[in-house]
Amino acid sequence: MKIIQLKEAERLKEGLRSLTEEFIGEHSYYSTWIQKNSSTFKDGTRIVYELNDKEKVVGYMMVHFSTEKCAKINGIFVFPDCQKRGYAKEALLQVLEQLKSQNYDYAFIQTRTNNKIVVHMFDSLHFDVIGQNYHKIENQTNLLAVYDLKEKRNFDEMFALAEQLYPGFSKK
């Protein structure tokens, strides 16, 4: 499996549709969110990757290059009939390697507190769960985790960056 950055407009559109589909039903603001942030997909601040196994699309992942040092993994989705085959784990490992080679310090990711699969992946991939992020629009609390790409183990720096990047952040 490899991750491929989507550049062509129609494929990018399909990736975004697929990534946000299950959330749009619940939170309609995601459809306007895509429109509002469309320039970031053009200028490369946000990237959608296709998860591609032998020319077959098995899912999508979105990354936001938030600052010079920090990236946010905004979402990952593996199609239901392709789940439990290691694709998500492999995609995260590949993006973490890319970020390391691009000299990033931290990769942040959040998930709903009840998303047991992702919480399990935080553990098995050695993300540090550093706190919670209250999402005002969704009216719910997410767990916030960070991957320490340079193994600095500087938790004060991680907390300070999380406060900048996530308005509803509170540390553990």
Ligand X SMILES: CC(C)(COP(=O)(O)OP(=O)(O)OC[C@H]1O[C@@H](n2cnc3c(N)ncnc32)[C@H](O)[C@@H]1OP(=O)(O)O)[C@@H](O)C(=O)NCCC(=O)NCCS
Is residue 85 within the footprint of ligand X (CB under 6 A)? yes
- Please pick, from the candidates 76, 143, 146, 149, the single residue that binds ligand X as defined by CB under 6 A: 76
Q: Which is nearer to ligand X, 52 or 154 (CB)?
A: 52
Q: Could you tell me which residues are beta bridge partners of residue 5?
A: 49
Q: Which position has the token pair 């960070």?
A: 146
The region of 2-10, 29-37, 117-125, 152-160 touching ligand X under the rule CB under 6 A is 117-125
Is residue 135 within the footprint of ligand X (CB under 6 A)? no
Q: Which is nearer to ligand X, 12 or 78 (CB)?
A: 78
Is residue 144 within the footprint of ligand X (CB under 6 A)? no
Cα(79)–Cα(72) distance, rounded to whole angstroms?
21
